[in-house]
């Protein structure tokens, strides 16, 4: 029962991490505009994600521009800035390179797809499921294999979010970056880090839920005691 409970806990944590990866990938708040200067107008908030850039006005109006081009994201970013009324913020949304966005997109999508595969594989190996009951060893291997896939999925999400966050830090402290063109971590990054942690923790619990094989030694057979000799020895 302890192993079954550990399996269930690991699966729930990894599943929540997978959901968090989807939410993080879809949200546009991967980086938000940093109001590091005192003379910056705060009537609008600027933020950017993997798929679009948005401007939120103080009136509640939100304008978003989807990155139409997958192969030339730099052009798409420049066009998104040109089509929005950002005034002094014009051009700040295109600070990231095409390679950074494409690599982050790819890693996040790979992490989500691997998580989906891990869900199906780990489900087959769960002790609470009725399938594959006739082969207990194969069932345990499926649970461990699902945990390994969850670990790889979590690593993909962790690398993507850490890389993206590192680029934000580099640009923020770059002396060549203007003060009015700096960004900070967005909510989507924090969700991505939490999701990666849950996937890694859940995958590790699934891998540890498989009981170790105990070496069984054969029971020693009792040997009959020799019967006492009732006769006398003859010379």
DSSP-derived letter for residue 177 is: S
Distance CA 153, CA 93 (A): 29
Position 217 in a domain: no
Position 218 in a domain: no
Position 189 in a domain: yes
Residue 62 phi, psi dihedral angles, 5° rounding? -120, 130
Residue 88: which CATH number? 1.20.140.150
Percent of the chain scored above 70 by pLDDT? 67
Q: Structural domain tally of the chain?
A: 1
Position 235 in a domain: no
Q: What is the pTM of this model?
A: 0.74
Position 137 in a domain: yes
Contact 205, 6 (CB under 8 A): yes
Domain residues for the domain of 105 are 2-208
14-23, 142-151, 168-177, range with the lowest pLDDT: 168-177
Distance CA 116, CA 153 (A): 9
E strands, 13-165, are: 31-33, 44-48, 52-57, 62-66
């Amino acid at each position: 029962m302890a192993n079954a409970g550990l399996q269930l806990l690991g699966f729930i944590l990894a599943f929540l991490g997978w959901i968090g990866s989807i939410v993080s990938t879809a949200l546009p708040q991967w980086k938000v505009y940093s109001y590091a200067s005192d003379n910056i107008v705060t009537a609008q908030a600027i933020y950017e994600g993997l798929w679009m850039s948005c401007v939120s006005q103080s009136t509640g109006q939100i304008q978003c521009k989807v990155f139409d081009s997958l192969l030339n994201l730099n052009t798409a970013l420049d066009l998104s800035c040109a089509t929005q009324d950002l005034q002094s913020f014009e051009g700040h949304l295109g600070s990231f390179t095409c390679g950074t966005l494409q690599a982050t997109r790819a890693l996040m999508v790979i992490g989500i797809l691997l998580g989906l595969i891990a869900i199906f594989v780990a489900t087959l190996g769960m002790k609470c499921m009725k399938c594959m009951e006739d082969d207990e060893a194969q069932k345990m291997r499926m649970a461990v294999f699902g945990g390994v896939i969850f670990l790889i999925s979590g690593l993909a999400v962790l690398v993507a979010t850490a890389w993206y966050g590192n680029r934000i830090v580099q640009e923020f402290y770059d002396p060549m970056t203007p003060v009015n063109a700096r960004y900070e971590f967005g909510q989507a990054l924090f969700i991505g880090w939490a999701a990666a942690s849950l996937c890694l923790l859940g995958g590790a619990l699934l891998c540890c839920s498989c009981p170790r094989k105990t070496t069984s030694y054969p029971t020693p057979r009792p040997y009959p005691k020799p019967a006492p000799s009732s006769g006398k020895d003859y010379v």
